[in-house]
Amino acid sequence: MAILDEISTLLQAGRAPKVKAAVQQALDEGIAPKEILENGLLAGMGVIGEKFRNGEVFVPEVLVAARAMNKGVEILKPHMSSGDVVDRGTVVIGTVRGDLHDIGKNLVKMMMEGKGLKVIDLGVDVAPEAYIDAARENQAQIICCSALLTTTMAEMKNVVDALEASEMNGKVKVMIGGAPITQAYCDSIGADKFTPDAASAAEAAVELCAG
């Protein structure tokens, strides 16, 4: 669809206000929010990621594209939530210490809120103790850690270890995800659950809270 290609192109150019307007236009045309996300916004981010890897664009371009992505997601967010006032549990989420990537984390948050979970968002560059303090303060059932760098994913083990050493051990589950994360890594650090994408993370979180 033309408007989805336009969203992708505008995002790649980092035109945040125009991305917002185009996302709204796509919604007005009756295109499903999930399709706008996957075939418009994420498609554009995929192109930027590929160009970044190949050295065709650099950090500033990626940054403005990421900002445009977040603005587009803001418009979609109310349309992706179930709207039902249900309380299925509380989750603490953040990107691990040393890591500033938050687009995937924000998507996970959005999907979880859409499933009726209360999400406490700690942002990026989150120290292990901060996850545990927030889980304690908010009586959360799950700590969710996102990491995009192979150099920062090791922080997830620090979160698991800090939790095990605290009085919260056994009361809170740890879920992990992000591009470099695998099931094997999850098993190796003793985290409770790995999911590869935002939708499956939200489903797993609902199951863990129910269990």
Contact flags string 54-93 toward ligand B1M, x per CB under 6 A:
-----x--xx--x---------------------------
The binder of ligand B1M chosen from 82, 139, 150, 169 (CB under 6 A):
150
Residue 201 is a binding residue for ligand B1M (CB under 6 A): yes
Structure-token pair, residue 116: 């009726």
DSSP string across 167-196: TTTTTSEEEEESTT--HHHHHHHT-SEE-S
Least distance in angstroms from the C-beta of 16 to ligand B1M: 12
Residue 113 is a binding residue for ligand B1M (CB under 6 A): no
Binding-site size, ligand B1M (CB under 6 A) = 36
Q: Which residue(s) pair with 95 in the sheet?
A: 146
Radius of gyration of the chain (CA): 17
The binder of ligand B1M chosen from 39, 90, 141, 146 (CB under 6 A):
146
The binder of ligand B1M chosen from 10, 16, 176, 189 (CB under 6 A):
176
Distance CA 30, CA 43 (A): 19
Sign for the pseudo-dihedral over CA of 74, 79, 85, 91: negative
Residue 101 is a binding residue for ligand B1M (CB under 6 A): yes
Question: What strands lie across the sheet with 118-121, from one edge to the other?
Answer: 118-121, 90-95, 142-146, 173-177, 193-194
Name the residues that contact ligand B1M, by CB under 6 A. Answer: 45, 48-49, 52-53, 59, 62-63, 66, 98-105, 107-108, 144-146, 148-151, 175-180, 195, 197-198, 201
